[in-house]
Structure 1
Amino acid sequence: MKNRKEMIKTFYKIIENENYDELKPFCHEDFVFYPQIDTPFYGVKGLKDSEDKNFAPFPDFKMPVKEIILDNNDSAAVYLNFEGTHTGAPFNGINPTGKSVKFSLMMLLKFKDNKIIEKRSHVDVNDIIKQIKQ
């Protein structure tokens, strides 16, 4: 597999393109996703199910990786910017407004056997709501 930073960039590009089946080679068989809260979503299917709900309100979204910080203990912090227009599904009960949003995301990835075994997401949902209500 490519070096770890390239692997992470490719992983997020695949998510941005919503080609979830292509994530399987990147994810450990015990992969788990924790979106913002400690409710786990298991496997690539769990990640897809969770992310579909998050991205459906913003069908034109882009999510470029801005920075990756690696440590020596099989962890990585990934900083991304999310940009999209609220023209899709309702977000948090708010019908599409046509408003553009831009917010930052911080992810913590953990690795095992050179694959991602855990992904934790941290985002300020209230900031998103504020932007689509303005």
Structure 2
Amino acid sequence: MGGLPAFTEADFVLSKEKRAEITAGLTPVQAKMVEHWMDLHEVINRGDWDGMDAFFNTDTMTYDNPNRPDLGTYHVWKTSPQGLLKTFPPSVYRTLKAWGRGDDEICVLCHHHGKHTGGPYMGIQPTGNDLNVVWFSWLKFRNGKIDHIYSISDVYSMLIDVGVIEAPQPVDPYK
């Protein structure tokens, strides 16, 4: 994937030093929210679906993503990482960078990796292709838990990687 340096699955377990690098420059409250998010990734990476609940205001959390308007509530959104693990094992997540605003908002740049070996995706049988999706999420916290997520991801590249669509890339799109 262009722009992502080479990585291994071990890179999805963030060391104390890597976490400090990601949270550098944030206020203590903002750093705590980013740590909360990175801890959530560890729980999801283990497939601990019940453990996820502790990170969210499960009754009020909302999710917005123009690519997935069907995932509006926590309980519906929670099915997405479950489905991704079945379809793209090992389906692991990590935070690459983070920014903060005030005492209740962060923005994170993240990476999702898997391999299309578990089942069909949008009608395409498993290809064995790597999946590497980079995305931004804006998170709003209430009472120390995630209450809203707005995400925008590179779904176009994902669909190309999986083989759902073919898209030759232009050298110069203005010619």
**TM-score, normalised with respect to structure 1:** 0.84
Are 1:42 and 2:67 counterparts? Answer: no
Instruction: State which drifts further: 118-127 or 48-57.
Output: 48-57
Q: Deviations over 1:80-122 (max 9, x none)?
A: 1122110012112211001112221111111111211011221
Other-structure match for 1:81: 111
The letter for the 2-side match of 1:41 is G
Q: Deviations over 1:17-66 (max 9, x none)?
A: 221211222211311223434444323x3222233233422011221111
Contact 1:41 1:50 in 2 (8 A): no
Match for residue 122 of structure 2 among 80, 87, 92: 92
> Residues 43-82 of structure 1: matches in 2 within 5 Å?
43=74, 45-72=75-102, 74-82=104-112
Contact 1:33 1:46 in 2 (8 A): no
Unaligned runs of 5+ in 1: none
Larger radius of gyration: 2
> Residues 89-128 of structure 1: matches in 2 within 5 Å?
89-128=119-158
**Identity percentage of aligned residues:** 21
Match for residue 48 of structure 2 among 19, 28, 46: 19
Other-structure match for 2:39: 10
Q: How many residues align?
A: 132
Q: CA deviation at 1:73?
A: 5.1
**TM-score, normalised with respect to structure 2:** 0.66
Q: 1:103 to 1:24 in 2, by over 3 A?
A: closer
Give distance in 1, aligned partners of 2:71 and 2:117: 28
Contact 2:87 2:120 in 1 (8 A): yes
**Greater strand share, structure number:** 1
